[in-house]
Each structure stands twice: as C-alpha cells, then as structure tokens.
Chain A
C-alpha cells in the first residue's frame, strides 16, 4: 500500500528543535565542558612535547592531534574515547523520552510521518555534534598557530578536514546506536545504561578481548611461522568490529602522512620506498577508505534497526 506525501516533511523543524533542546540542556553543557577541558589539556601537553622534540617536521601541525604527553593521551585518542559519550548523551532518550514525557502521540498527530521524527532526531543530534567538533577543531588550530607560531600548510588543512569528517561519521555511529537502543528499550534509564555498557565494552575491554578471542580461533603453531600472521589477522579482524578500532586506524593514517599501512607490512612491500617520506593525501585516504566505509555501514545498519523498530511501535504506551 502506497502512502502519499513526503516522509521528509517536517524533518528540518524537528531537527532544529532537537538541536535547540540539546544546545540549552544541562547535560550537553556538562559533557562539552568535560570534552573542552580534556581537549585543551591534550593539546597543551602536545605543544610542550612538540617544542621539546621536533626540530623540523613538514607536518608539524598534524602532530598537535596525535602527539601525547604522559599521562594525557593525544587529542585524537581523547575524541575516540569521549565522543561516544557525547553521542550517547544526546541520543539515549531520543525515542523513549517522547513516550515517557507523553508527548509522542501529539507529535505524531501533527501532519508529519514518523520518518520525519526519527530523521529529525538524528539530524538534530548530528548537527549539534558537528558544531561542537568544528568549534573544537578550530580551537585546536588556533592554539597551534598561537603556540607554535607558524600557520598550517594547505595539505595539513585538507588532511585535518577529512579527519574531521571521519570523526563526525564515528560520532554518527554512536548516535545511531543510542537512538536504536532508545527505540528498542522503553525506559530511558535502561537504554542509557545499555548504550554505556556497549561503549565500555567496545572502548575499554575490546582491546583485551581480541587477543583472547583470536587465540581461540587461530592458535599459534610454533613450527609454522605463517600461523603467527594468521593469528594477527584474526586479531585485527575481531578488533575492527569495534568502531573505536576503525576510528583509531583512520586517525593514525590521516594524521600521519608517513604511515603506510594499518596491517602487517613485509619487507618486499617496502622495496623502493623512502622510509619516512610522506604519502600524498589521497593515498592516505585510499588506505583507510575501507575503515571509513565500515563506519558509515555501521551507522546505516544501526539507524535501520532504529527505523524498523520505531515504525512498528504502537503509539499508546
């Protein structure tokens, strides 16, 4: 049965309302304060180290994002860890919050489709994350110019922008996960807990689980050197089920022009290569293209789960 009218009617209105809600909500203020403080700390540490160690690096600016000074991790690692928290804070009660505030039936009685509600919620959340990320990114560049005393090159800006887009996709995965859980689970508190558990497992424990799991699937045979490689590949494959691993690989390649591979590299593959020479930007993007596609695919799958579950829900709770 074909329904009439556009499913996108009202998406913009819902998205702007959601974005305005997020911008003024206390939870967003708190979490952005946390992110801002850690980010400034990370960059401040990085600047100190860059000043001490690096004399002449053509990609000095990108080091701002990747260099870490103990005990603080790098800015990129920070985002990989904290961005999911931001996305979960924005999305954990997207659908079930409307039910618990008992606003759902009136919202759906407006001349819009349910699609518009879900699209709008996702777009609104992503818009807020995008604004926050862009602000942070500009802040980092500004601090870099101020403290390092030199402007970034065009190549660095392009790489940093692509990395910014990939970061947004990474945040989108977590936002889609949070919204999907909010559609499947009826209580906002439970869906928040569920999303946080997934985040803890994938961000904290996944790197501990993968060697164990890989060891079970592909045990090392001491007489067969190929089995070591075999096991490593399994470990990497399992590790990549976590978006955090994918995002880490993307950051590593995009922000370090000298990096050539995310996997094992053999001597014969390095023949003729000048060690430490930077790759063209497009080549770096090609290396992590599968990871970027993986993130977008995960986002789409999770959003589809949210969509299907929300479309089938009864309005009265």
Chain B
C-alpha cells in the first residue's frame, strides 16, 4: 500500500482550559474522499487548520505528503487547496481577479494563469459571470468559484470546510458532482460537514467527530452496520387501544411513541412484530398496519450523537 497522503498522530489543541481537539489520529490515502462529520464545535475546523499549519497544535504531529506543516508550510500549501467555511473571496473584485490574485500568490507563471483560469471557470460553469464582482454571487456560485480555484492551482489535496452548508438541494447536488469530478481526477479530498446524508454519497470513508475526538472512522457501510444493527423501527397503525402502555412492557422493545393519532413508532432490538400483533389483538384493538423498516443512516447518525451526549 502506498504511503498515506495525510497522517495525523495524537493531534491535540487546547485553548486555555478548553480542549478543542483531543488526541486525534487518522490517515488519508491518495485519491480518497474522507468526510469529517460532527456537530458544530466538534473540532473539525480546528483539525483542518492544524493540518494546514494555520494553527499550531498543542501536541501531536501532522505529516502531509511526508512534510511537516509547521516547518515546511509553503511546500504544503502549494499542493493543498483549502476552501474555508466563508470562502473568503474579495467581494470588491471579480471572479477572474480573485483567481488571478491567488494564481500570483501561489506562484503560477503569469503566462499560464490566464489560460488556466479560463479553463477552470468553464469547468465550474462560471464563465458567463467571470467578470462580475463576487459581491453579486450566490453562495452556490462562490462555492463553485472555490472549486475553480482548486482546479486552477491543480492541487493534489483539497480540504473543504462545510462546502454544502447553506446551499439549496440543487446547488448541493451540483457541488457534490463537482467534488466527485475532482476525486475522479485523482485529487485527495478531505471535507467537513454536519450533515451525513448530504455527503455520504461522495465520501469513501467518514470520521465522526464529537467533542474533539474521533468516535468512529470507517466506510459508510461500516457505520451503518455498527449503528444500525440491533435497531429496528416498526410502524404500527391500530385503533381503540393505547399501544404506549401495551407494548412498553414487551421484551426487546426500547421505545414507543405516538407519531400521529392511532399511529405509533416502536423501536426494538429485533423484529417484534408477532408479539406486537398478539398484544394488540388480545387487547381488542383493530390492527391496520404493521411495518418493519431499518433505521435510516441519518437517523442512526443522529442517534449516535445522542448516545454520545447522554453517555457524557
């Protein structure tokens, strides 16, 4: 196996007494798309800043392509493109001017940059708006402009902070397609988000962040197996009974709540439909529907964070 592109060991960041990131280890291999997921304030952005050497870790080390971001930041920043949460393009300049400025800062030869900017803007379909000031851009267009910058600079690694936040579903889809294009082009991508269902389609692996620690690192399937197994949700529709009191005492049932009049959702450790049917009928109720479904991934994800919060 090839050497990992990004390698973080024991990464820790303390702000005074508050620990923002605690002892985080992970590696990203070449060509992978890894999603950093977690609620706001879980330490995702701090981790990203430490990877880039923009913030000094309190402890631990980072290697990007075998280089240290604290000692060789220029070398790393040349091959790593970073799109911050706020994008950070200058509102008073046009898209083309913004890109030309980053091209000059990243040391692209002057003759080459105009052509590359043109190509990159065409790829993200911003060529028509290229000479408009960025102040007039929507959030989706700014994100695409950010992607154009990565293309123009021909980065090997891209780090995207909350690329989909604040986007409408269509823009989100467009952006994800662009990210997939980048990944197909061989770029290693690290992206952070607080919405699992949005990014699960593009990520090869995900890392769940919580309170500055990685609670889980693996593929989406592994996460589904770990969180989803042993949890089933059963929709029950029945009349003239109160399922809350009837089913609450059944073995295997963890939770019962009413979703609508005469509708209940039962969460159980395994399939308890025969038992449910029996208690409903025995109580003289009219059973209309009994439907088993597996927990959806985003529900599982939400549940994961609830569990972690309760445990703490």
Chain A interface residues (CB < 8 Å from chain B): 1-5, 9-10, 13-14, 17, 21, 101-113, 314-316
Contact = CB atoms under 8 A, between A and B. Distances in A.
Interface of B: 45-46, 49, 52, 54-55, 70-75, 77-78, 80-84, 86-92, 101-102, 104-107
B86 A111 contact: no
Instruction: Classify the interface of chain A: helix, strand, loop or mixed.
Output: loop
Contacts of B92: 21
A9 B89 contact: no
Contact of B88 (A21, A107, A112): A107
Nearest to A107: B88
A102 B86 contact: yes
B106 A3 contact: no
A315 B77 CA distance: 15
A-B complex: 7 closest residue pairs judged by Cβ atoms: A106-B88, A5-B74, A102-B86, A109-B82, A111-B77, A110-B105, A103-B88
30 contacts: A4-B71, A4-B74, A5-B72, A9-B74, A14-B105, A102-B86, A102-B88, A105-B84, A105-B86, A105-B88, A106-B83, A106-B87, A106-B88, A106-B89, A107-B88, A108-B54, A109-B52, A109-B54, A109-B84, A110-B77, A111-B75, A111-B77, A111-B78, A111-B106, A111-B107, A112-B74, A315-B55, A316-B45, A316-B46, A316-B55
A5 B68 CA distance: 13
A71 B102 CA distance: 51
Contacts of B70: 1, 3
Contacts of A111: 73-75, 77-78, 105-107
The residue among A1, A106, A108 with the most chain B CB atoms within 10 A of its own CB is A106
A3 B105 contact: no
Nearest to B76: A111
A103 B82 CA distance: 12
Contacts of B81: 109
B77 A106 contact: no
A301 to B, nearest CB: 26
Contacts of A112: 74, 77, 105
Nearest to B46: A316
A133 B237 CA distance: 84
Nearest to B90: A103
A95 to B, nearest CB: 15
Nearest to B86: A102
B101 A13 contact: yes
Given A10-B105, A109-B81, A113-B73, 5 more contacts: A104-B88, A105-B84, A106-B83, A110-B105, A112-B105
Contacts of A101: 88, 90-91
B45 A4 contact: no
Contacts of B46: 316
Given A1-B70, A315-B55, A316-B45, A110 B106 contact: yes
A111 B81 CA distance: 10
A116 to B, nearest CB: 8
A315 B74 contact: no
B105 A4 contact: no
Most buried by B among A105, A112, A113: A105
A88 to B, nearest CB: 20
A105 B54 contact: yes
A292 to B, nearest CB: 35
A13 B110 CA distance: 12
B72 A109 contact: no
A110 B45 contact: no
Nearest to B45: A316
B91 A314 contact: no
Contact of B72 (A3, A103, A106): A3
Contact of B89 (A103, A108, A109): A103
